[in-house]
Amino acid sequence: MVKNDVLERGLECDVFIGAGLVDLYCKCGRLGDARNVFDKMWDKDVAVWNAMVAGLSQSLEFGEAVEVFRSMWMCGGVEVNSVSLLNLFPAICKLSSVGLCKCVHGYVIRRLFPNSVVNGLIDVYSKCGRPDLAYRVFELMHEPDDVSWGTLMAGLALNGCHNEVLELFDQMMNYRLNVNIVSVVSALSAAGETKDLKKGKMIHECVKKNKFDSDIRVSTPLITMYAKCGELEKALDLFHKLSGKDMVACKDHVLWNVMISAYTRHGRSQESISTFHQMKSNGFSPGLVTFVSVLPAVAYLAAIKEGTSLHGEIIRMGFLSHNTVCNTLIDMYSKCGRLDYAELVFNEINDKDNVSWNVMLAGYALNGLGDCAFDFFTLMQENLVEIDPVSFVSVLSACRHAGLVNEGKRVFALMKEKHNIEPKLEHYACMVDLLGRAGLFDETLQLIESMPMEPDAGVWGGLLGACQMHSNVKVAELALDNLVKLEPGNQAHYVVLSSIYAESGRWADAKSLRMKMSESGVKKTPGRSWVNENRDLPVLEG
């Protein structure tokens, strides 16, 4: 009614009344009306321009918001102020316009704007994927405040610059600056991502000192940090301690997912599965990510019964339309040795992505069906599926298991020639294994010579294994020489060579090798060569 009055009397051109109307229409979501009034006004002050930009931005008309801002800036005859810039920032973020951000940046440094605007600039650069420029803005600030630190750290964390976040946290500690919740949360997430438990514990101390530990925004990243660093007991302890009204709200389904995926990743499959069941008995409904997190644990245990029951649940919940879930199911079934079920799931995917194909291919390779894998690989090419380095690992390892030497060689050549993919270490390791098992030692050594990178223990270890199959003492000595340099203290390699000597009747060499082992401090603890931790932790005597 008031609005109609104003319109009938033609008062909307008045700068104050017009500004009120633009603001009012925008807030009611009547953008067209706001624009009408705005366009009719011949004398616009900065508040009207700002209201129009804010209105457009809030109505998700980001391009239009930027256009109006440009007109104000270029020919509006008014001075752009802090509010104008703060209204513009969300639009720049959504359009991810680094160019526009740079224009504004220039303007901001030519004139003195308050920290709120400069902090906004840091935020915008980060959200446009330019943490480097965000950092530069921060460095040139006269007096960065705690919000500036928090904004920069959150921005760097967003862009995966986790080490830089932790460095900033250290600086804050060293300078004894005020740490706020935002910087602590960013630092916790960075510590989790880099699995830096020591740093994580330090941040936890700081959390306690500042009494942030009762804040729901801190407890989740805190638990996640412990879970990612492998301290599952600590994470679980904090998880169970969450109590009180707010805390229970924060013990939500994502936090359950954090625990489930942490157990899975740390090989604690049984606990992963039992946490999944606990989640349900606590009244939380598993989501897509929950299934994707628990299924690898099922695969690890080859717990097919659990797997099919999860499959049923996935169907009932309608998650079968998500490729991620189907791909994980295929993987689970093939690791349980049920390629028939894996194929069933694969065939039912309407829009197979290259991961779907890769998982299925890996399934054939894993189950030792070299010919199937090879045919499937051909089918992938016929279907113009994107072949990537992972596909080649699978098909090469399938050739290796099946002893398909010529096919393997052809595929290896194809990598570079047809698909323009440079073979990586793992591809070379497959080929060394394949050629070595076939007893083609000259060819294998030539291949190792031709590698553009330093062969790793996997490559030499494959060669040593092949030497054992063919009792090739000469090449085995060469392989061992290199293995000793790469993994001093791993007794398994010596044991292999020693048995090759023994098989060839070279008892004296076998004996002197054992002597060498005990001299160099390598202890012979038989039969645990598959234990991964032995690779990094040489067992020393004394």
Site residues for DNA per CB under 7 A: 86, 115-116, 119-120, 123, 145-147, 150-151, 154, 157-158, 180-183, 185-186, 188-189, 192, 216-217, 219-221, 224, 228, 250, 252-255, 257-258, 261, 265, 287-290, 292-293, 296, 323-324, 327-328, 331, 354-355, 358-359, 362, 365-366, 388-390, 393-394, 397, 424, 426-427
Running DSSP on this structure, what letter comes out for residue 243? Answer: -
Closest to DNA by CB, 292 or 500: 292
Running DSSP on this structure, what letter comes out for residue 11? Answer: G
DSSP string, 436-470: HHTT-HHHHHHHHHH-SS---HHHHHHHHHHHHHH
Work out how close the CB of 518 gets to DNA at its nearest, in angstroms, rounded to a whole number.
37
Closest to DNA by CB, 165 or 466: 165
Look up residue 196 and give its two tokens. Answer: 């830096």
CB 68 within 8 A of CB 56: yes
Which neighbouring-strand residues pair with 522? 540
Give CA 495 to chain center in angstroms.
39
Work out how close the CB of 57 gets to DNA at its nearest, in angstroms, rounded to a whole number.
12
Work out how close the CB of 44 gets to DNA at its nearest, in angstroms, rounded to a whole number.
22
Closest to DNA by CB, 64 or 331: 331
Work out how close the CB of 329 gets to DNA at its nearest, in angstroms, rounded to a whole number.
10
Q: What is the CA radius of gyration of the chain?
A: 32
Closest to DNA by CB, 190 or 435: 190
d(CA 20, CA 28): 12
Closest to DNA by CB, 293 or 491: 293
d(CA 378, CA 366): 18
Closest to DNA by CB, 18 or 286: 286
Work out how close the CB of 473 gets to DNA at its nearest, in angstroms, rounded to a whole number.
31
The SS3 of residue 498 is helix
d(CA 454, CA 59): 56
Closest to DNA by CB, 358 or 498: 358
Closest to DNA by CB, 147 or 434: 147
CB 398 within 8 A of CB 365: yes
DSSP string, 121-158: HHHHHHHTT-HHHHHHHHHT-SS--HHHHHHHHHHHHH
d(CA 299, CA 292): 11
Work out how close the CB of 107 gets to DNA at its nearest, in angstroms, rounded to a whole number.
18
Which neighbouring-strand residues pair with 540? 522
The region, left, alpha or beta by phi > 0 then psi within -120 to 50, assigned to residue 326 is alpha
Residue partners of 194: CB distance under 8 A and separation at least 6: 162, 163, 166
Work out how close the CB of 220 gets to DNA at its nearest, in angstroms, rounded to a whole number.
2
Work out how close the CB of 471 gets to DNA at its nearest, in angstroms, rounded to a whole number.
28
d(CA 538, CA 522): 8
Closest to DNA by CB, 91 or 255: 255
Closest to DNA by CB, 265 or 268: 265
Work out how close the CB of 177 gets to DNA at its nearest, in angstroms, rounded to a whole number.
13
Phi, psi angles (nearest 5°) of residue 199: -65, -40
CB 69 within 8 A of CB 88: yes
Smallest Cα–Cα separation from 251: which of 265, 263, 235, 240? 240
Closest to DNA by CB, 279 or 480: 279
Work out how close the CB of 154 gets to DNA at its nearest, in angstroms, rounded to a whole number.
4
Closest to DNA by CB, 152 or 479: 152
Give CA 21 to chain center in angstroms.
48
Work out how close the CB of 89 gets to DNA at its nearest, in angstroms, rounded to a whole number.
8
Work out how close the CB of 195 gets to DNA at its nearest, in angstroms, rounded to a whole number.
12
Give the N- to C-terminal CA distance of the chain in Å, as an integer.
94
d(CA 415, CA 243): 56
